[in-house]
Amino acid sequence: MRSLLPLVVLPLLALAAPPTSPTITRLVFSGSGCPNDSGSVKSDTATIGDSAGVSFTQLKGDTTDNCAVHIQSAGASEGWQVAVRQVDYVGDVNLKGNSGLDTYTQVFWSENAGNTVNSHHIKAEWRNADDIQGVLTGGLACAGPEIKDYITVRSSTADLKWSKCTGADGNPGILNVNFRPVVQGDFGTYDFKHAAWKLEWRRC
């Protein structure tokens, strides 16, 4: 029953998407799991509303990769902020023996596309002091003999990192999401197909 408590409290703290959600105007990506010239990441949604997401075609491996996605948008109702509360990654995972899959998602908002720095290291530094950052972690453990399934790895946070307040242009800033899966232990592979982000809005 404790897990139901946040569902009761959260609506009092945040609102649904504004009357007009921002339309995605540009999506840029890079990393070992989604090279920027590969065309391997596509947006699943045309807007950033209560949720948003992307599809992958090359985010697969047996050790670790990263995929950094940068989404620009405009046209939202004026006077709103948005934050990422939850991320779900869906795909094929195979773990054998004593092994595990850890996931790390670094989320931040930036003002200038030139300030979005991609890295192959989860402990990357983004050098713009104005960036608002947060890290969500999740994972899956195998105690043996094997996990082989199409699964969802979910992580969430109560420490919301809010975008800037939308102005007349309805631009909340650039949403930057850097995802890294990491295989630990005896044996593991992953092939992630989709990412879904649960978003929350508030008046500002």
3 state SS of 6: helix
> What pLDDT shows up at residue 17?
81
C-alpha 80: how far from chain center = 20
CA–CA distance, 174 with 109 (Å, rounded to integer):
5
3 state SS of 131: coil
Q: What are the backbone dihedrals phi and psi of residue 67, each rounded to the nearest 5 degrees, phi first?
A: -140, 115
> What pLDDT shows up at residue 15?
63
Average pLDDT (134-146) is: 90
Average pLDDT (88-113) is: 92
> What pLDDT shows up at residue 120?
33
List of residues 6+ apart from 202 with CB closer than 8 A: 13, 14, 15, 80, 81, 162
* pLDDT tens by residue, 45-76: 999 999 999 999 999 999 999 999 999 999 99
Task: Tell me how crowded residue 160 is: count the other CB atoms within 10 A of its CB.
Answer: 18
Q: Which of 70-74, 78-82, 121-125, 146-150 has the lowest mean pLDDT?
A: 121-125
The two three-digit tokens of residue 47, written as one number? 């807007």
Task: Tell me how crowded residue 168 is: count the other CB atoms within 10 A of its CB.
Answer: 7
CA–CA distance, 74 with 160 (Å, rounded to integer):
21
CA–CA distance, 17 with 50 (Å, rounded to integer):
5
Answer whether residue 14 shows pLDDT above 70. no
Q: Which of 11-20, 37-46, 47-56, 187-196 has the lowest mean pLDDT?
A: 11-20
pLDDT band at 82; cut points 50, 70, 90? very high
Q: Tell me the whole-structure pTM to 2 decimals.
A: 0.81
> What pLDDT shows up at residue 129?
33
Answer whether residue 121 shows pLDDT above 50. no
- Which DSSP string corresponds to 154-180? EEE-SS----PPP-TT----EEEEEEE
Say if CB 161 and CB 85 are below 8 A apart.
no
